[in-house]
Amino acid sequence: MTYRFMMSAFWIATIAFPWMACAASVPSVGSVAPDFTLTSQEAKPVSLKDYRGSWVVLYFYPKDFTSGCTIEAHNFQRDQEKYKEKNAVVLGVSVDSADSHKQFCTKEGLNFKLLADTDHKVSSMYGSLTNLGLVKFASRHTFIISPEGKIVKVFTDVNPNKHSDEVLTMLAELQPKAGGSR
């Protein structure tokens, strides 16, 4: 399967058939976030449970090196200091390989973790897998997970240009004024 074919299928699916996006349902606000372990761009395992006690911004994105995904990643990178101030970590997930993530991070100057969901299990658990038969990719969804491990906000209609700002605004609303964590 050629890269050109995969990208054509990707764009047809996301623009012409957005209703095809997800087979599984998105976990609801108030539910415990499904735990997982995936490999990062540093070839190290990363588990959601490792971040208990911190806020987690778990964002799913379609593909490394595509325009919308690059914009979204750059904005999350730009705002890393703001996330740290809010005791929040950003974790990006796509079905690309850890090696692809490493190349993407190096080329784009990203220093937060991108996780490889090459078997599509985590994207499926979070209702964030687009399945076109031959082509599968993560849908652009974001979950804010509380320090206690509960999903407190779900974004399924994401504009990559302003999404990091939306997430930071929501974190400010969810967190108490004084301490930065709940």
Chain position carrying tokens 């976990």: 27
And the tokens for 51?
């971040």
Catalytic annotation, pick one of 69, 110, 138, 145 = 69
C-alpha distances in Å from residue 27, one per residue of 142, 152, 159, 162: 11, 10, 20, 23
59: amino acid identity, one letter: Y
The answer to whether residues 57 and 84 touch, using CB atoms and an 8 Å cutoff, is: no
Write the burial class of residue 52 (CB in 10 Å: 0-12 exposed, 13-18 middle, 19+ buried). Answer: middle
Q: How far apart are CA 140 and CA 163, in angstroms?
A: 10
Q: Is 69 a catalytic residue?
A: yes
Catalytic residues: 69
